[in-house]
Structure 1
């Protein structure tokens, strides 16, 4: 698919553009020639990807809260977007234990706010809502979750994202029913990505930032759950899926107005230990310690995604195996700071050429 042909000169309203995934998506959309307006809180990390890319960025940036419906309405409706990609969220499992009600407020009410404003938009618009692989009722078994499996969530973050999926389904049925597209002109899908890694992520309690900070400091990496299995993938994998889905959804809303998983192939679901050891190998040195603690907040021990629907219906498939994804990620952090922005665009171009 020629994404540039799809998105060039299109107006994209992107929530969460100051975050890790949002910054990558904004940069990619800019390379495609899209006109991007971002809406998000100020970046949490001064050394994050948003700050690195900002000097050369053409994205219009609004720093505001997704829960501020008056401000959101004014900024979204005045922009008159062709597409909305909703990424703004409280994205951390462990932080959700510290601010549970705020996590639900941001992830559930924030999503409802976006969709309610889109409903008031007087033009055709295609919407992709980003949730997470953790929306499923996790059985802690070695199985691949499909989009038809039951939603759930042990921790507040996972539960809030499952609730966000229910919000999407409710709005789609109540206001954006695919069979009535000619009346409302809105197409809405949701996407559930696996554990995303890539350069420019400095979030707390994430494995790659923990690895990089420890390696740079020359200290052992403290690994909380070395045997936990996750669907690891480079950030460009799901983002490519979102863009592909957006293009198809815009053309045939009746076919694609549903949920899609984006994750690695079955053989690329790795343990945390395997990720750490591969990262150390790519870095060239380092050690790790088992920092498991029976008193730490609950996190799932095993989580795997079935991506058959995305492969069969969207023609999407992962381009990078897990080893390559880790290499791309670690090599990003090995770049001098002054070269990381250019390296980001280089990786986007390299991935697009695969």
Structure 2
């Protein structure tokens, strides 16, 4: 599954481009020669990956909220994109417990606003909506989820993303059938990589603990997650969006999982210990005290359909993922040009999938 010159000059509209995954995708699209316009809130962290990867060239950058339907529609219709990749979201489980209405407003109604704007933008041929591996009704069995499994979610974040899937399905069936437009969703595992400084995520929490010479506190150290480098699902998104644009819509699924090789499934504690080894430290973690909000004990994905449908498969081992992540933060601490460093990792990944 190598990337082609398809993206060179292609008009692409992104939402959520100032976030972790959005910043990496923005840089990759710029490298591929795409003509990009993007809408997002201001970066929520300081430092910010979006700032680290600047300067940005050949792009329209708008600070706006997808919950503001009028403003968002104006930006989309003015740009007249061919492809829309919708990534903007409230993406943190613990924050969803603290502010569930914000989570549902952003993830559900925000997505409805995006799709409603697409209805009035004739130039759009493909819409890719990014949801989550947490959209599935999870009984904790650890059996890898496939795309036809029942949607669900107990916490507000997971439930809001399952609802997002239903919103996409409704708009596809109600408004886009019979039109020359493909609308699909993508569901990825727990992504890690350089430049994430979000709250309540393992890698940035580890980095903060490491830099303060403290062990990281883990709420659920034995929870199993499908860890993967951020470039893995992003490569899948690009390949799927290209396929949706150039292929007959009926030939492709409405949703695809992008997860790591099963050998990359690991507990939270195992990943923390591997990160500690990469940073040369022992006694990496300790049990966080007190009661904690519930989280699924096991979550794994099957990506068999992505392989059969578009030829995508994960290329990075868990160890290589950890090495690339540790190398990024080390280079950042040493004052390296992180735009150039990140472009180097993208180039290395492109070589791996070519």
Which bracket does the TM-score occupy, shorter chain normalised? Answer: over 0.9
Partner of 2:171: 171
Answering whether residue 315 of structure 2 is matched by residue 298 of structure 1, we say no
Q: In the aligned structure 1, how far is the partner of 2:257 from the partner of 2:3?
A: 20
In the other structure, the counterpart of 2:313 is 317
Quick one: distance in 2 between partners of 1:292 and 1:302?
19
Q: Which runs of 5+ in 2 are unaligned?
A: none
TM-superposition CA deviations, 1:128-173 (whole Å, max 9, x none): 1000000000010020110000000110000000000000111111
- Residue 120 of structure 1 corresponds to which residue in structure 2? 120
1:205 pairs with 2:203: no
Measured after TM superposition, the shift of residue 4 of structure 1 is: 4.5
Distance verdict in 2 for CA 1:56–1:173, change over 3 Å: closer
Equivalent residues of 1:188, 1:257 under 8 A apart: no
* Aligned pairs (5 A) from 1:141-156: 141-156=141-156
Q: CA RMSD in A?
A: 1.2
SS in 1 for 2:337: helix
Unaligned runs of 5+ in 1: none
Alignment check: 8 A CA contact 1:223 1:288 kept = no
Aligned length: 349
Is 1:31 aligned with 2:27?
Answer: no
- Give 1:340-351 correspondences, 5 Å limit: 340-351=338-349
Deviations along 1:57-90, one digit per CA (max 9) or x if unpaired, are: 4432100000111111110011000110000000
Q: In structure 2, what is the equivalent of residue 238 of structure 1?
A: 233
1:227-248 deviation digits (Å, cap 9, x = unpaired): 0000100000000000000010
Q: Return the alpha-carbon distance in structure 2 between the equivalents of residues 124 and 327 of structure 1.
A: 39
TM (norm. structure 1) is 0.96
Change (3 A) 1:286 1:56: farther
Q: Is the 8 A contact 1:87 1:129 kept in 2?
A: yes
Structure 1 residues 7-16 or 44-53, which shifts more? Answer: 44-53
* Deviations 1:217-265 (CA, angstroms, capped at 9, x unpaired): 1111112211000010000000000000001011122222501000011
Q: Which has the higher mean CA deviation after the structures are superposed, 318-327 or 237-246?
A: 318-327
